[in-house]
Structures are given as C-alpha cells and as structure tokens.
C-alpha cells in the first residue's frame, strides 16, 4: 500500500469532462466524480442540478505527489476550463457548474493562489479570472453511472464535449501558438512538411521505425507526451506503430478522405500537428495500429526523462 498518496479536488463544470484529463496521467491512483462545497449530505444528481444544495460538481483525485506533483495537477486543471466564466462552464449554467480549486492543505492553497496569479499576470485572458480557491469540504461520490462516464458512453461523452464548446475553447486558448516562420527555423523540412502540411515521410527511411529502446515519444512541436515504447510494435509497414496513445485526450482523430481513400487521421490536440493515421489491423489488446510519422515525434530515452522535464514518466519504467 502506498502511504504517500494525497488528495486533490477540482470543480470544473461538468464532472464527466474533468475525469479524462487526469485519469491517464502517471501517479494518478483514482479519479472520482462527485459533489462538494454544499450543505446537503449525500445529495443526488437531481438535487445538485436543482441548485438547492450549494454543491458543485467536482472530481476528487488520489495521487502520488512524488510521481505527479500538485503543481502539475493545478496546471492541468486550468487547461480544461474557462476561468473567466462566473456563471458556470460553457452551456452548463448555474452555481453547481462554477469552477473552484478546493485545497486540502496550506501548501496546496499556496500553489493554487500562485498559479492563479500567474494566469492573471500572463494576459492570456482579456477578462478577470473568477475561479475561486476554497478549503476542501466533505466530498460525496456521484452515482455509479456518472463514474468513468467517458468509458461507459464514449460516443455520448465525445458528442457532449464537442457540443458544449469546451473542446473549441481549450483549442483556442491552450493549444500551442504556431508561427510558420518560427517553425520553419526550428523544424527540419521533413518535420515541417509532415506536421504542418499533412505530409508522409518515406517508409523504412525515418528515425524511429525500428527503434527498440525504452522511453516515450513526444510531440515534436509542443513537447506533449503522446506514445510509449511499451505500446510500440513492429507492424512491418516502415513507420513507428503503436497499439494506443499514452493519453487518449491528447490525440484527435478525424476522417481523412484525401488521395481517394477513407482513413482516420491522427493529430496532436495541443499543437494541431498531423501525426499519421490509425487503422483497425493492430494486435491486441486494442486491435489498433497507430501508424505515426517519425518526423512528428521526438524520442525521450527512459534514462533522460528527468533531465528532459518528463520525470513523472520514470515510474513507467521502474
């Protein structure tokens, strides 16, 4: 039993949408959807939605701070919400959908306040930051059908996120701003062609198609972790192939009808870079083959994770 676990609690609007950003991160032990901050004991979903309980929809996260520190949890939280909206989140309106960081310790309070000030000072948003920072209160888990909703009802979940405007807002305010001239200086011609012009590098003539070392593969533009050597396999196609992403919520998949074919394109959400395509002819356990251009990736060896700023992923290889 790990005795070094801590608890973090965040209200970010619809709690369905606040699970996926955290549940696949290293060091996260569990994420529970629930209600907190109000006066009614053991409220139901209907009671909270009636705005009579004082509760917020929230997620409570059990995590290992040595693997994934609280600072990074708070940073992840900010990148899921509109912190300038005092009336709810996106098309969910009312008190129960407002944003709050609930701190469990004075250290968490200091981190939260410092991060809020940093966002205010950054000028990223033209309106005031209204997300509150409040002491943690009793937390009541939501009904079973709300837990892991994204896994139980993936189509409804994806449709809801997109329809609510959350995904669009995140892309507009938190994705990497790409200046084409800067990218042309920092990327090789092939990296630029692949990531910015939806190009494809030659098979068997790229950096990672036969790389068998242990580590993670990150977005060459944004640095976001995308794939792991644990999920890499030799598909015989001449490009790096993976059974699944490290974090599904960092990947976007769209229908691609170019070149007279119907394929599912894979893009990085954070940078909107073209990565490759996904096919349904891969091995188990997923049956999928994420066929990715080496030029869209940077490999970080497991021994270099700490040095390169990805220390939380060391636990994958221990």
Interval 29-53 mean pLDDT: 96
Same domain assignment for residues 290 and 155: no
Residues 88 and 192 in one domain: no
Residues 6 or more apart whose CB falls under 8 angstroms from that of 243 comprise 231, 233, 282, 283, 285, 286, 288, 289, 290
How many angstroms separate the CA atoms of 52 and 162, rounded? Answer: 28
Backbone angles phi, psi at 2, to 5 degrees: -80, 115
Q: Which of 5-9, 28-32, 244-248, 260-264 has the lowest mean pLDDT?
A: 260-264
155 and 10, same domain (yes or no): yes
Q: What is the mean pLDDT of residues 285-306?
A: 96
194 plus 168 within the same structural domain: no
> Given this model, what pLDDT does residue 1 score?
46
Active site residue 237: no
Q: Is 255 helix (H, G, I), strand (E, B) or coil?
A: strand
Flag whether pLDDT at 42 surpasses 60. yes
Q: What is the pTM of this model?
A: 0.81
- 218-240 pLDDT, tens digit per residue, is 999 999 999 999 999 999 999 99
**1 inside domain:** no
Q: What integer is the mean pLDDT of 245-251? A: 89
Whether residues 13 and 152 fall in one domain: yes
My answer on whether 213 and 294 are in the same domain is yes
Are 23 and 100 within one domain?
Answer: yes
Q: Pick from 289, 273, 298, 279: which is nearest to 231 by CA?
A: 289
Could you identify the residue written with the tokens 């060459």? Answer: 220
pLDDT of residue 151: 86
Last residue of a domain, one of 107, 140, 174: 174
Q: How wide is the angle at C-alpha 25 spanned by C-alphas 20 and 308, nearest 5°?
A: 135
Taking 60 as the threshold, does the pLDDT of residue 208 lie above it? yes
Question: 10 Å Cβ neighbour count for 102?
Answer: 24
Q: Tell me, yes or no, if 49 is annotated catalytic.
A: no
pLDDT at res. 93: 95
Domain shared by 205 and 149, yes or no? no
- What's the CATH number where 163 sits? 3.30.1060.10
Q: Is residue 56 part of a domain?
A: yes
Check: CB of residue 54 under 8 Å from CB of residue 37.
yes
Angle at CA of residue 316, ends 315 and 318, nearest 5°: 60
Domain membership flag for residue 30? yes
**Reported confidence tier of residue 260, pLDDT bands at 50, 70, 90:** confident
Tell me what pLDDT residue 2 has: 55
Mode of pairing for the β-strands spanning 6-12 and 28-36: unpaired
| 28, 155: one domain | yes
**Alpha carbons 249 and 164: distance in angstroms, whole number:** 16
Q: Which sign, positive or negative, has the C-alpha torsion 149, 31, 249, 161?
A: positive
Q: In 10 A of CB 112, how many CB atoms?
A: 26
pLDDT in tens, 158-174: 889 889 999 889 888 88
Structural domain including 207 reads: 180-317
Asked if residue 148 belongs to a domain, the reply is yes
Q: What is the mean pLDDT of residues 229-258?
A: 91
pLDDT band (50, 70, 90) for residue 179: confident
Q: pLDDT per residue over 105-141, tens digit each? A: 999 999 999 999 999 998 889 999 999 999 999 999 9
Q: State how far the Cα of 162 lies from the Cα of 154, in Å rounded to an integer.
A: 12
Instruction: Say if 131 falls within a structural domain.
Output: yes
Domain boundary among 140, 174, 208: 174
Q: Which spans in the chain are helix H? A: 20-23, 45-49, 70-78, 106-122, 149-152, 154-164, 166-174, 180-186, 189-197
Domain end among 174, 202, 227? 174
Per-residue confidence band for 261, with pLDDT thresholds at 50, 70 and 90: confident
- Residues 185 and 239 placed together within one structural domain of the fold: yes
| Residue 267 included in any domain | yes
Question: In degrees, to the nearest 5, what angle opens at C-alpha 26 toward C-alphas 22 and 32?
Answer: 35
Tokens of 261: 């074919």
Same domain, 122 and 78: yes
Q: Specify the range with the lowest mean pLDDT, choosing from 50-59, 77-86, 139-148, 166-175.
A: 166-175
What is the pLDDT averaged over residues 203-208?
A: 97
Asked, for residue 29, whether it belongs to a domain, the answer is yes
pLDDT for the residue numbered 176 = 77
Return the closest-CA partner of residue 13 out of 116, 75, 84.
Answer: 84
**What is the rounded average pLDDT of the residues 92-96?**
95
Mean pLDDT of 1-30: 90
Residue-level pLDDT at 3: 67
Q: Is the distance from CB of 234 to CB of 311 less than 8 angstroms? A: no
- Structurally, the chain folds into a number of domains equal to 2
**The domain spanning residue 236 has which CATH number?**
2.170.150.20
Are the beta carbons of 305 and 314 closer than 8 angstroms? yes
Together in a domain, 89 and 230:
no
Q: Six-digit token pair at 132?
A: 């509150």
What SS3 class is residue 154? helix
pLDDT, one tens digit per residue, over 271-282 is 999 999 999 999
Mean pLDDT across the stretch 97-106? 98
What's the CA gap between 100 and 241, in Å, rounded? 40
Assess contact for 246 and 226: CB atoms under 8 A: yes
């Amino acid at each position: 039993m790990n005795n070094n676990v801590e608890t973090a609690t965040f209200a970010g609007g619809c709690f369905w949408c606040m699970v996926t950003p955290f549940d696949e991160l290293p060091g996260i032990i569990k994420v529970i959807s629930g209600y907190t901050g109000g006066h009614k004991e053991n409220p139901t979903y209907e009671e909270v939605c009636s705005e009579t309980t004082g509760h917020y929809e929230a997620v409570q996260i059990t995590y290992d701070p040595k693997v994934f520190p609280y600072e990074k949890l708070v940073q992840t939280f900010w990148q899921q919400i509109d912190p300038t909206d005092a009336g709810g989140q996106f098309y969910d309106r009312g008190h129960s959908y407002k944003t709050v960081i609930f701190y469990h310790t004075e250290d968490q309070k200091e981190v939260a306040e410092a991060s809020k000030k940093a966002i205010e000072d950054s000028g990223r948003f033209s309106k005031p930051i209204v997300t509150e920072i409040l002491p943690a209160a009793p937390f009541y888990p939501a009904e079973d059908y709300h837990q892991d909703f994204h896994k139980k009802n993936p189509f409804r979940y994806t449709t809801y996120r997109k329809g609510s405007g959350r995904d669009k807002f995140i892309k507009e305010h938190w994705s990497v701003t790409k200046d084409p001239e800067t990218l042309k200086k920092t990327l090789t011609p092939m990296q630029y062609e692949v990531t910015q012009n939806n190009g494809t590098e030659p098979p068997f003539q790229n950096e990672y198609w036969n790389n068998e070392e242990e580590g993670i593969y990150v977005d060459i533009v944004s640095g976001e972790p995308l794939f792991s050597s644990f999920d890499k396999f030799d598909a015989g196609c001449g490009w790096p192939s993976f059974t699944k992403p490290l974090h599904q919520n960092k990947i976007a998949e769209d229908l691609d009808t170019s070149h007279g074919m119907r394929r599912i394109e894979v893009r990085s959400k954070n940078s909107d870079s073209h990565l490759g395509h996904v096919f349904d002819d891969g091995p188990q356990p997923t049956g999928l083959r994420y066929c990715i251009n080496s030029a869209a990736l940077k490999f970080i060896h497991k021994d270099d994770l700490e040095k390169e700023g990805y220390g939380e992923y060391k636990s994958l290889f221990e």
